[in-house]
Structure 1
Amino acid sequence: MENIVLVLFSLFLGYILNRFRIIQKDGAIALNKFVLYVSFPAIVLLQTPKINFSLELMIPAIIAWIVMTLSAFLILFLSKLFNFSKEVTGALMLVAILTNSSFLGIPMLSTYLVGQDFMPYLLIYDQFGTFLAFAVYGTFIVSIYTSKTKVTFKLITIKVLTFPPFLCLIIALFFVGVEFHPTIAKVLEIFAITTVPVALVAAGLQLQLILPKEDIKPSYNTFINQSLKY
């Protein structure tokens, strides 16, 4: 129950902070960067050395790739069926395939599951599944559908290796089976705990109960244009 209260209160707090202009919506960028560069890497460094790697543990990453692959083919089929424009197809190939399994996944799992037993599976799913897809697949899609970004092996490698949680994952793999000094473990634990409230407050800052007209108009025009073709 307390986890559900934490989720709802954090989202509400972020919304109120933005509503009363205490923190502007742009403040979510700073909070998200804190989670990306501090909180989530702390979780990776804290939990990865405790992982007992096995085929079973890799199942989440395999499932992630299967789901994303099937979803991509489904989007391409629907795009061909409804004759979507190149821009709409490109957008759907990103937003309908990729997911934020860490920023939203950790708060949701913490709400419904007791303890931290899920964390190794989430780390594998996120880092070897959705993040690699974001870095590799996402880069290719942007290149194909915008014709502005030239995809190179160097570009993808830099994108992967400079992503803070993934970099921490590589470092943490060298400490598998090693028990950190209590002081180090405690510091990492404190920063790791900030992931859920900070990520949710950042989401609350961007929460809008009513969509602006400028956001509704493009979707409405696309719907009308597609409807007229039939």
Structure 2
Amino acid sequence: MDSLFVAVSCLLLGVLLRRLGRLPEGADRVVAGVVIQLSAPAVGFLAARSMPLSAEMLLPASMAWVVFAGAFAFFGLAQRVFKLSRETFGCLMLTAGISNAIFIGLPMIEAFFGHELTYVAFLCDSPGTSLVLALPGVLLATQLSPLANAHTTGGLAARVWHSLRRVLAFPPFQALLLGLALRGVALPDWLLAGVRHIGMTLVPLSLFAVGLGLSLRLGKGSGRPLALGLAYKLGLAPLLMLAVAAFCFGNTGPVAQVTVFEAAMPPMVLGAILATENGLDPKLASLLVSVGTPLSFLTLPLWRWILSLL
């Protein structure tokens, strides 16, 4: 409960300081950079040293791919029924089709499931959300972007390779690999304790950064796609992942529950940035993150209760 209190307080503090103008423009990106470069790698390193290595790990690794495939079917149908533009469809795919596995997922897992299961978030992110964003995400953005002058094979390949390089250079991913490489190495207690203390900054800083970046401005015509995006991301996506875990993997244990919980996370910030950079309904992208994040603080406890009944 203390972690949940810290998470909510830091999110609200970030929103409040943004409204009061107490911090300079772009402060959310600076704080987010600290999380990516300092806090998350520390948690990832420790998680890699302690997480079990088994076939069960394939379940969280598949989460992002399952959710993205489900989004393609759901938003593809919605596009036909409601006559959504290709830009809106692309925005929904990149934002509501991918979970915020690190910035929201890590602190929420720690708050609701405990620190010992935070490693599941990295398994959902590194082989999952990061690669989904880098491969099908970039391909989709390139094909649907109204800003692209031409969709040549060379240009597309270059963008995909650039995205893959960003995944490999992602500090939490590198820390995860380092932790795996050093699993059998006995490290000094003072070193591990120091890394653990650094990792404790993850929850307050990540939610503070999200709060600083929230902006609730509903534009004309955004209501329906916003509702569709949030209905899928906060409700249907975790329901789909629960069905996959139960019927395809035959698993409803702690790892499966955390994986479903990760599928229930709000829309992905990096996905919204990719949509914005490619001119795919930028206002909707911002809304999906800004509305979905605080709304998830109501839906995530509900999902935790549902999962506790399994």
Kindly indicate whether the alpha-carbon contact (under 8 Å) linking 1:72 and 1:93 is maintained by their aligned counterparts in 2.
yes
In structure 2, C-alpha distance between the alignment counterparts of 1:107 and 1:25, rounded to whole Å: 25
Tell me the alpha carbon deviations over residues 63-84 of structure 1, each in whole angstroms, 9 at most, x when there is no partner. 3322221222221222123222
In structure 2, C-alpha distance between the alignment counterparts of 1:175 and 1:112, rounded to whole Å: 28
2:137 aligned residue? 138
In structure 2, C-alpha distance between the alignment counterparts of 1:74 and 1:63, rounded to whole Å: 16
Alignment of structure 1 residues 1-230 onto 2, 5 Å: 1-24=1-24, 26-113=26-113, 115-146=114-145, 148=148, 150-152=155-157, 154-208=161-215, 211-212=216-217, 215-217=218-220, 219=222
Shift of 1:88: 0.9
In structure 1, C-alpha distance between the alignment counterparts of 2:145 and 2:26, rounded to whole Å: 26
Kindly indicate whether the alpha-carbon contact (under 8 Å) linking 2:75 and 2:92 is maintained by their aligned counterparts in 1.
yes
Shift of 1:48: 0.5
Tell me the alpha carbon deviations over residues 9-65 of structure 1, each in whole angstroms, 9 at most, x when there is no partner. 112221232233221452111000111111101111121022221001221112332
Distance 1:160 1:71, change over 3 A: same
Query: % of aligned pairs identical?
Result: 27
Kindly indicate whether the alpha-carbon contact (under 8 Å) linking 1:51 and 1:176 is maintained by their aligned counterparts in 2.
no
- One-letter amino acid of the counterpart of residue 112, structure 2: Y
| Structure 2 portions without partners, runs of 5+ | 227-310
Distance 1:151 1:109, change over 3 A: same
| Structure 1 portions without partners, runs of 5+ | 224-230
Q: TM-score, normalised by structure 2?
A: 0.64
In structure 1, C-alpha distance between the alignment counterparts of 2:17 and 2:59, rounded to whole Å: 40
Equivalent residues, number: 218
Distance 1:111 1:77, change over 3 A: same
Shift of 1:221: 11
In structure 2, C-alpha distance between the alignment counterparts of 1:71 and 1:199, rounded to whole Å: 26
The secondary structure found in structure 2 opposite 1:187 is: helix
- One-letter amino acid of the counterpart of residue 151, structure 1: L
The secondary structure found in structure 2 opposite 1:95 is: helix
The secondary structure found in structure 2 opposite 1:111 is: helix
Query: After TM superposition, what 4+ stretches of structure 1 lie above 4 angstroms from structure 2?
Result: 220-223
The secondary structure found in structure 2 opposite 1:217 is: coil
In structure 1, C-alpha distance between the alignment counterparts of 2:225 and 2:71, rounded to whole Å: 22
In structure 1, C-alpha distance between the alignment counterparts of 2:9 and 2:40, rounded to whole Å: 21
RMSD, aligned α-carbons: 2.3
Kindly indicate whether the alpha-carbon contact (under 8 Å) linking 1:49 and 1:178 is maintained by their aligned counterparts in 2.
no
Q: Which has the larger radius of gyration?
A: 1
Tell me: higher relative CO, structure 1 or 2? Use CA pairs within 8 A at least 6 residues apart.
1
- One-letter amino acid of the counterpart of residue 196, structure 1: V
Tell me the alpha carbon deviations over residues 120-143 of structure 1, each in whole angstroms, 9 at most, x when there is no partner. 222111211112111212211111
Q: TM-score, normalised by structure 1?
A: 0.85
Shift of 1:218: 5.3
